[in-house]
C-alpha cells in the first residue's frame, strides 16, 4: 500500500497515510482562539501534503485545565468561529483536521491555572515539576467528562473533522489509566476497568453529544517504560492492548499510539540519540488486536521509512510530529519520490525548548533550528526569485552559511560558497560526530544536495581572502565564519602540551586512549566530548564551574546526555572552577574555595568559543556585507545562525 | 554499678526509644541519575526523585551511649505510594559508634560500618565555611564543603521540609532487616528479609542553609562514589534531635533478589566469597 493511498477513519476518508501529530507551538492566544499565525502554520502543512492534521493540546475547561498560556481552547462557544476558519483553511488543501482535547492534570503550573492546587487522579505531585496536587472528587470527574463532550461538540460545530482525546504522555487521562499514578479506591481506581473508566466515559459523552459517527481518535502511550527506572506499576503494552480493544468496542475510530510519561520524558520527545522507529513495534503489536486504524509515532525521519511502514502493513498511518516543523512539504516530497529533498528533523529538540520558554508567560512560539519559516508563515510567505544571477559570496559553510547559500540560490542569485575546512557544516558537523549523534548531520546531508541541485559554486578547503572576494565583484557578501574554541590565558598551564580543545578531540586531530582526562566545562560540547573520550577507553572527569552539569542547554537533551555519562561512569564535578593545569593534574576550587587536586594526564578545555570574523574589516566599503551566526556573536545556537541567514537572504 | 552477665527479664529489653540528641553537622543534597538510583534499589522500593541526600554529623548526646560521628548517603523512594528516605550506607566513628552500630544493625537493619579512628569522620569550620570528610581504611569516601548563606538551588528548602529553629518535622525511612540462619548443609544463608518502615521526628535547634560542593569516591570496600553528582542542590549546618519512632514490617522481599543489593554496605570484601569479582 503506497503512502498516498486513502484510509477511512470512521466516517471520513483521509487522502494519504501521513498524520501530523499534536505539538504545542505557541501560536495561539490566551483566550484560546486560533489566530491567523496559527492557521497559517497548520495550513502550510496541509499544503505540504499532510493527510490528517491533529492540532496541539486544546483545553476543555479553564482553571485547572489550562496547560499553556497561549493554548487553544474549546471551553467556550465564542472560540468556535476561529476554529471554523482553521477547518476551512485545512480543507482547502483536501486535508482533514482533528482537534486534540486535553487536560494536563498535575502536569501544568499553578501560575497558569491560578488555583491553589493542581488536580490528578490521586494527590501525587508531578515528578518533573512538583506542586501541590489534589485528587479530583467524583463530582468533578463527572463534570470534566461532560466538558470533554461539550468541547467536542464545539469542534464539530466549527467543521472540525474529528477530535482526539489525549490519553498519553502523562496527562490527566493517563494519570487515571496508570496504576503508578492512580491510587484511588473508588470506581475510578484499582482494576484496569476502573482506571480506564474516565476515558471511556469521555468517549461516551462525546458520542452522545456529537453522534456515534463523529470520529474520535485516542492517543495512548503504549508503555510508560517505568520498569526501566525500577517502577513496576507503570502501563505496559499488554495493558494498552486491553485499553485499545475496549476503545474499539466503544466505537473509537483511530488509535494514535505513542509512549512515555513525564517520569520518562525523553521517550515522549526523543532527543537525537533515539533510533528511527524505536517505538513502532509497540504500536504494531497493539494493531494486531484491533481492526480500527492505528497510527504510530516514534522518530520517523525518512520518507522511505514511512513508506516502508505502510507498504509492509506495519501500521495504518505514519504519525510524525517534529518532521512537519522541519519541512512542511514532507508529505508532497515523500509521496512524489523526492524523499532526499526533505529537510529531515535532527531531533535536536530546539522546537520543544523554545516552546517551553514561553509556555507559562506566552509571547513566543516554538522555533525550528533549521527551518526559519516555521512559525513565521505569515511573514515568510513569498520567496521572490529576483536574484537575476547577481553574484553573492557566502564565507563559511556552517549552518548559517549553508542556509544563506541555499535560500539565495533559490532566489536565483549566483552563489559562491567558501569553506576553509574540507567538510560542510562547521560546528554542526562536529556535533554529529559523538556516539549516537549522527542525526545532527541530517541538515548537512540535505544542504549538500540542495547546493548541488541549485548549482552553488562550492569551494571546499578554500579559505577566502578579501582580494579573492573583491575579484568576484559580488553584489553582497555574507560572512558566516563562525568561531574558534576559547582557551582563557589567565589559567596557569592553559598552553601546556597536554591541553586540547573539543574540536581537536571530536575531529580526531588528537586521539587520547587509556588516559585520565579532565574535561573543563559541561555544556553540550563538553558532555559530548567527555562521552567520546570515555567511549574511547579513557577515564574522564568533567569539571564544571556552575552548580549544574549542562546548565543552559535544553533539558531533554541534557538529561539524555547525563544518562549516558552515568552509564559510562564519567565522574562529574559541578561547582568547581579550574584554577591551574599541571603536568599530571589540575587544581580546582569548589564553592567554598577549597582547592582540590584532580589527577589527569590530559585536559580538554570546553569553555566556549570566540568569534572569528577576519574579513569584515578587510571588506570595508562594500555595500552589502552581513555578518551572521557566531562570527557576529559567540555562543549562539544553530537557529541563531540559520534564522539570521534566512532573514537576510529572504530580504536581500 | 558493674555489668551482670545475666539480666532479669525486665532488664533484658532494648530501650524502646532511640534519640540522637544534639546532632550537629552538615546535611547536603545533590541531583544524580535516576537509572543509577534505580539500579541499587531492592524490590519493592521504587525511585521517587533523582536526588541523593546525606550528612556528616556528630551525635553528642545519644540516648543509647557515648557520643559518636556518623555519615550517611540515601535516596528518595516510593513504597506503595509512601515517599521516604532509603539510607543506603552509614559509617560511624567515635566512642559511641560501636553501640550505635550494633543497635542500628540488629534492631533496625541499618547498613552500618565502623571507621577505625574518630577523625576518619571530621567536620572543620572556619567562619562561614565548613568541610566534612569521611575516610575509611585510608581511603577518602566523601568530601563535602559548605559555605553558609543560601542554598545552591532555592528549591532545596522544600526537600528538607522548610526547617527552622524550634520546628518539628517528621519523615519515613525504609530499612532492610536481614536474618541469617544455617541451612541444611550447615551454611549460613539469608533466609528472611524484613522491609521496615520507620517514622522519625526531627526537632531543630538551628538550620543554616548553604552552598555545597559534593565529592564522593569509592574504595575497595565502600562504594560511596556510585552516584554521579549532576547538580549541587544545597545543604545546611544543622543542630537537631532525631528520635526514631515506630518501626513496622511492611514486606518480606525475596532474600536471593535482595541481598546482592545489601551486602556491600554491611560487609567488607574480605568477608564475602573469594574469587568472585
Q: In terms of Cα–Cα distance, which of B227, B266, B224, B40 is closest to B132?
A: B224
Per-residue pLDDT for A519 more than 80? yes
For an interface test with A, give the residue of B40, B50, B86, B228 to mutate (most A CBs within 10 A).
Answer: B228
Mean pLDDT for A330-347 is: 97
Grid cell 549566483 — which residue? Answer: A414
Classify domain B20-164+206-240 by CATH architecture. Answer: Beta Barrel (2.40)
Phi first, then psi, for residue B157 (nearest 5°) are -60, -35
B158 → chain A, closest CA residue:
A130
Grid cell 525521519 — which residue? Answer: A301
Give me the pLDDT at residue A316, please: 98
**Could you give the C-alpha distances from B240 to A247, A648, B60, B202, B237, in angstroms and in order?**
56, 64, 10, 6, 10
CATH number of the A487-607 domain = 3.50.50.60
Q: Does A511 touch chain B (CB under 8 A)?
A: no
Q: Does A185 touch chain B (CB under 8 A)?
A: no
For the CA atoms of B99, B104, B109, B114, what is the dihedral angle to 10 degrees?
-60
Cβ contacts of A110 within 8 Å, gap of 6 or more: A116, A117, A118, A131, A132
Whether a cis peptide bond, with omega within 30° of 0, leads into B44 is yes
Mean pLDDT for B96-119 is: 95
> Taking a contact as any Cβ pair under 8 Å apart, which residues of chain A between 98 and 127 contact chain B?
122, 124, 127
Domain boundaries, chain A: 7-357, 391-484+611-651, 487-607
What global pTM score does this model have? 0.91
All 3 cell numbers of residue A247? 476503545
Per-residue pLDDT for B277 more than 70? no
Cβ contacts of A118 within 8 Å, gap of 6 or more: A64, A104, A105, A106, A108, A110, A125, A126, A131, A132, A133, A134
Q: In terms of Cα–Cα distance, which of B47, B52, B50 is closest to B27?
A: B52
Residues of A with catalytic annotation?
171
Mean pLDDT for A554-577 is: 94
Mean pLDDT of chain A: 96
B252 to chain A nearest CA, in Å?
A: 17
Q: What are the helix and strand counts (H, E) for chain B?
A: 4, 11
Asked if A113 contacts A64 with a C-beta cutoff of 8 angstroms, the reply is yes
ipTM of this complex prediction, to 2 decimal places: 0.94
Does A575 contact B41 at a Cβ distance shorter than 8 Å?
no
Q: In terms of Cα–Cα distance, which of A420, A483, A465, A485 is closest to A612?
A: A483
Does B229 contact A572 at a Cβ distance shorter than 8 Å?
yes
Does B152 contact A127 at a Cβ distance shorter than 8 Å?
no
Asked if A56 contacts A22 with a C-beta cutoff of 8 angstroms, the reply is yes
CA–CA distance, A485 with A481 (Å, rounded to integer): 13
Asked if A381 contacts A43 with a C-beta cutoff of 8 angstroms, the reply is no
Per-residue pLDDT for B276 more than 70? no
β-pairing verdict for B139-148 and B129-136: antiparallel
B232 → chain A, closest CA residue:
A547
SS (H, E, C) A71-101: CEECCCHHHHHHHHHHHHHHHCCCCEEEEEE
CA–CA distance, A72 with B249 (Å, rounded to integer): 50
Percentage of chain B surpassing pLDDT 70?
A: 99
Instruction: Give residue-wise pLDDT tens across range A50-74.
Output: 999 999 999 999 999 999 999 999 9
A181 → chain B, closest CA residue:
B81
For the CA atoms of A42, A48, A49, A50, what is the dihedral angle to 10 degrees?
-30
For the CA atoms of A174, A178, A183, A185, what is the dihedral angle to 10 degrees?
90
Instruction: Give residue-wise pLDDT tens across range A310-321.
Output: 999 999 999 999
Residue A125, classified by CB atoms within 10 Å of its CB into exposed (0-12), middle (13-18) or buried (19+), is: middle
Does A231 contact B78 at a Cβ distance shorter than 8 Å?
yes
CA–CA distance, A359 with A152 (Å, rounded to integer): 24
Per-residue pLDDT for B198 more than 70? yes
User: Which fold, A7-357?
Assistant: TIM Barrel (3.20.20)
User: Which fold, A391-484+611-651?
Assistant: Rossmann fold (3.40.50)
A425 conformational bin, left if phi > 0, alpha if psi -120 to 50, beta if neither:
left
Residue A107's DSSP bridge partners are none
CA gyration radius, chain B: 19
Instruction: Give residue-wise pLDDT tens across range B57-84.
Output: 999 999 999 999 999 999 999 998 889 9
Asked if A630 contacts A610 with a C-beta cutoff of 8 angstroms, the reply is no
Instruction: Enter the DSSP assignment of A226.
Output: G
Alpha-helical runs (H) found in A507-637: 524-535, 555-568, 615-618
All 3 cell numbers of residue A154? 464545539
Amino acid at each position: 500500500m503506497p503512502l498516498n493511498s486513502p484510509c477511512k477513519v470512521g466516517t471520513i476518508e483521509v487522502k494519504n497515510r501521513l498524520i501530523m501529530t499534536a505539538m504545542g507551538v505557541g501560536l495561539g492566544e490566551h483566550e484560546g482562539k486560533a489566530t491567523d499565525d496559527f492557521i497559517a502554520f497548520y495550513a502550510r502543512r496541509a499544503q505540504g501534503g499532510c493527510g490528517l492534521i491533529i492540532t496541539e493540546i486544546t483545553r476543555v475547561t479553564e482553571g485547572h485545565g489550562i496547560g499553556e498560556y497561549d493554548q487553544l481552547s474549546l471551553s467556550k462557544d465564542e472560540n468556535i468561529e476561529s476554529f471554523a476558519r482553521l477547518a476551512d483553511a485545512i480543507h482547502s488543501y483536501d486535508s482533514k483536521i482533528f482537534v486534540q482535547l486535553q487536560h494536563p492534570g498535575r502536569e501544568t503550573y499553578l501560575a497558569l491555572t491560578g488555583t491553589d492546587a493542581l488536580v490528578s487522579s490521586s494527590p501525587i505531585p508531578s515528578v518533573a515539576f512538583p506542586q501541590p496536587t489534589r485528587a479530583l472528587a467524583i463530582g468533578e470527574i463527572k463534570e470534566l467528562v461532560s466538558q470533554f463532550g461539550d468541547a467536542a461538540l464545539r469542534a464539530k460545530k466549527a467543521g472540525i473533522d474529528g477530535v482526539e482525546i489525549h490519553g498519553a504522555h502523562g496527562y490527566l487521562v493517563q494519570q487515571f489509566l496508570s496504576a503508578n499514578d492512580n491510587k484511588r479506591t473508588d470506581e475510578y481506581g484499582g482494576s484496569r476497568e476502573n482506571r480506564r473508566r474516565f476515558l471511556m466515559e469521555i468517549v461516551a459523552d462525546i458520542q452522545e453529544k456529537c453522534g456515534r459517527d463523529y470520529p474520535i481518535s485516542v492517543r495512548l502511550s503504549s508503555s510508560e517504560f517505568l520498569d526501566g527506572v525500577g517502577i513496576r506499576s507503570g502501563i505496559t503494552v499488554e495493558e494498552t492492548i486491553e485499553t485499545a480493544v475496549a476503545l474499539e468496542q466503544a466505537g473509537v475510530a483511530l488509535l494514535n499510539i505513542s509512549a512515555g510519561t513525564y517520569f520518562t520524558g525523553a521517550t515522549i520527545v526523543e532527543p537525537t540519540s533515539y533510533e528511527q522507529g524505536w517505538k513502532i513495534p509497540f504500536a504494531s503489536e497493539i494493531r494486531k488486536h484491533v481492526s480500527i486504524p492505528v497510527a504510530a509515532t516514534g522518530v520517523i525521519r525518512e520518507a522511505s521509512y514511512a513508506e516502508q511502514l505502510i507498504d509492509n502493513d506495519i501500521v495504518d498511518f505514519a504519525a510524525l510530529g517534529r518532521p512537519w516543523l522541519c519541512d512542511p512539504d514532507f508529505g508532497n516530497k515523500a509521496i512524489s519520490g523526492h524523499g532526499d529533498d526533505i529537510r529531515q528533523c535532527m531531533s535536536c529538540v530546539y522546537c520543544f525548548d523554545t516552546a517551553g520558554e514561553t509556555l507559562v508567560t506566552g509571547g513566543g512560539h516554538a522555533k525550528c533550528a533549521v527551518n526559519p519559516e516555521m512559525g513565521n508563515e505569515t511573514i515568510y510567505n513569498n520567496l521572490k526569485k529576483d536574484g537575476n544571477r547577481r553574484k553573492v559570496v557566502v564565507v563559511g559553510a556552517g549552518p548559517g552559511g549553508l542556509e544563506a547559500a541555499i535560500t539565495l540560490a533559490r532566489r536565483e542569485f549566483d552563489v559562491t560558497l567558501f569553506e576553509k575546512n574540507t567538510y560542510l557544516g562547521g560546528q554542526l558537523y562536529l556535533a554529529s560526530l559523538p556516539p549516537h549523534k549522527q542525526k545532527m548531520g541530517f541538515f548537512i546531508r540535505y544542504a549538500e544536495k540542495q547546493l548541488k541541485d541549485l548549482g552553488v559554486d562550492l569551494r571546499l578547503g578554500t579559505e577566502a581572502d578579501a582580494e579573492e572576494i573583491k575579484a568576484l565583484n559580488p553584489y553582497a557578501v555574507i560572512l558566516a565564519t563562525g568561531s574558534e574554541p576559547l582557551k582563557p590565558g589567565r589559567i596557569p598551564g592553559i598552553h601546556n602540551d597536554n591541553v586540547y580543545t573539543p574540536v581537536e578531540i571530536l575531529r580526531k586531530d588528537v586521539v587520547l586512549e587509556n588516559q585520565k582526562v579532565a574535561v573543563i566545562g559541561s555544556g553540550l560540547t563538553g558532555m559530548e566530548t567527555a562521552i567520546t573520550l570515555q567511549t574511547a577507553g579513557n577515564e574522564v572527569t568533567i569539571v564544571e564551574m556552575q552548580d549544574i552539569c549542562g546548565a543552559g542547554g535544553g533539558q531533554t537533551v541534557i538529561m539524555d546526555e547525563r544518562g549516558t555519562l552515568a552509564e559510562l561512569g564519567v565522574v562529574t564535578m559541578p561547582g568547581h572552577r579550574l584554577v591551574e593545569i599541571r603536568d599530571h593534574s589540575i587544581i580546582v576550587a569548589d564553592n567554598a574555595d577549597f582547592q582540590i587536586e584532580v589527577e589527569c594526564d590530559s585536559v580538554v578545555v570546553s569553555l566556549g568559543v570566540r568569534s572569528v570574523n577576519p574579513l569584515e574589516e578587510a571588506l570595508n566599503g562594500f555595500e552589502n556585507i552581513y555578518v551572521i551566526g557566531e562570527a557576529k556573536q559567540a555562543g549562539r545556537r544553530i537557529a541563531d545562525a540559520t534564522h539570521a541567514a534566512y532573514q537576510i537572504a529572504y530580504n536581500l | 554499678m558493674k555489668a551482670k552477665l545475666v539480666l532479669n527479664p525486665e532488664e533484658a529489653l532494648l530501650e524502646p526509644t532511640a534519640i540522637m540528641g544534639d546532632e550537629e553537622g552538615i546535611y547536603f543534597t545533590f541531583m544524580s541519575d535516576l537509572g543509577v538510583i534505580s539500579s541499587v534499589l531492592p524490590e519493592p522500593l521504587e525511585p521517587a526523585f533523582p536526588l541523593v541526600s546525606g550528612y556528616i554529623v556528630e551525635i553528642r548526646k545519644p540516648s543509647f551511649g557515648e557520643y559518636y560521628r556518623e555519615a550517611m548517603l540515601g535516596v528518595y523512594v516510593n513504597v506503595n505510594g509512601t515517599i521516604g528516605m532509603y539510607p543506603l550506607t552509614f559509617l560511624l566513628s567515635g566512642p559511641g559508634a560501636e553501640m550505635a552500630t550494633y543497635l542500628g544493625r540488629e534492631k533496625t537493619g541499618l547498613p552500618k560500618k565502623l571507621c577505625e579512628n574518630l577523625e576518619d569522620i571530621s567536620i572543620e569550620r572556619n567562619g562561614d565555611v565548613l568541610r566534612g570528610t569521611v575516610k575509611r581504611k585510608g581511603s577518602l569516601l566523601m568530601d563535602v564543603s559548605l559555605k553558609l548563606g543560601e542554598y545552591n538551588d532555592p528549591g532545596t528548602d522544600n526537600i528538607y521540609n522548610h526547617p527552622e529553629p524550634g520546628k518539628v518535622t517528621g519523615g519515613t525511612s525504609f530499612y532492610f532487616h536481614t536474618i541469617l540462619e544455617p541451612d541444611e548443609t550447615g551454611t549460613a544463608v539469608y533466609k528472611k528479609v524484613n522491609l521496615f518502615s520507620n517514622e522519625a521526628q526531627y526537632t531543630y535547634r538551628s538550620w543554616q542553609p548553604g552552598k555545597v560542593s559534593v565529592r564522593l569516591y569509592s574504595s575497595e570496600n565502600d562504594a560511596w562514589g556510585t552516584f554521579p553528582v549532576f547538580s549541587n542542590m544545597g545543604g545546611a549546618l544543622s543542630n537537631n534531635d532525631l528520635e526514631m519512632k515506630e518501626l513496622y514490617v511492611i514486606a518480606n522481599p525475596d532474600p536471593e533478589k535482595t541481598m546482592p543489593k545489601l551486602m556491600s554496605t554491611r560487609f567488607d570484601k574480605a568477608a564475602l566469597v573469594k574469587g568472585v569479582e
